[in-house]
Structure 1
């Protein structure tokens, strides 16, 4: 199943187009895309039994973040072996976690204003929580995931690394620095949700390419590790980490500039397209 946020309304995506959930359900479910996660089991049961519904063609430019108002957004650092190596750091014994403030979230296409000359790309698989999770064992981690989407953990490296203590959360939370989309895909749609190709291109040049099987801590492991400390809530996002190829680790270093086109993709989900503008 694929669901999306189409101009602020929850839709189911079919081969024929988009089905408006509020109308198709007779207002059983509201149009608000975020509200569905608190009723995820009820919603998926209804959607599985939904008879043929009228689907309409839609403009992908109207797609917005699949979970637009999460209570919590977790970012995981150094979660690919090759990224830890390019950073010159040892693999972590436990997830290295920061937050991206929800105000940074945006949709899968459009323009994003740079904050300065050192904004970096980081393509990521993003897991969206569908069932509240607290002290969940690894073997049940996937049971609490509503679905997967594509994400970018855009990072202002100057701000991120400023001061005697790094400012990870501030450096990664400027407006637009958390693109997600183009839609959410439920785990049952994948032959192996733990082994998906992901990639990133800047102006048509491949800069990142890997598979999620290379994660140090897999999606169910992250659900277990995070939920051991605090409850994960329906609609929460987990940015699972980025592979090697970020601009800061290159020689010479390379960062995003006004006019650059960024394309981010995950196998079985889809592709995001963004263009960068001068700082506002």
Structure 2
């Protein structure tokens, strides 16, 4: 695969919003679904594992890195276009590597309503579909009409209604959890036109609320835990007396600004430091409330768990 662009021993900390983690044994950034398929074939021939990485905003990468092939779906697959459908609706087509915030801003620029919440989400479009990203009452599933993906054998397209979207999950996430090869390549979304001033005001309001309530100036992976049914993770953590808590001076800390975020102060903490804190918070919240928090952050590489 001389034209595959496969690189070796690439540090991954810079590709993660947590700003920690070791190197990938092999690393590639494909441009098409066909290239994705060929990379998987190459990995299978070598007998190595594959991890598909987007914007790195919802994962914690092991200090040992990933002993396999990391396929990063990013700038090479970040197309964006629009098509008028009539009746006040517009179809947006986006590549999986496009920043989800760019998609949200593009919709706002076109006076389309329904994707305002996306403007502040740091992940990629592919990641947003994979986990049905959402915020402030909006979810990715609200406007997705089609998803294109590689299923381990061929490139397929599914209607949004067939994607099994749920709270921070999708058919693709479930298939991945079962060990099946699934790579999201892009999506189509249909949104209605709205009032430009109202859309701009909402985007500005959500951005201000996010800035005021979340530690956006410190490396993190966003919300560390999923919201337990009937509860809020941040409230449970705060009630356990852990807001602002740190086990040591490694840099890993429960944010004093938002208890739902574990942060990496100065980017100096190792992944193992972050993981120890996550496990400690999980234990203490369970002891205090009887609620077992579930990680929203995905683990990449070996953590011994």
Normalised to the residue count of structure 1, the TM-score between the two structures is 0.25
TM-score, structure 2 normalization? 0.23
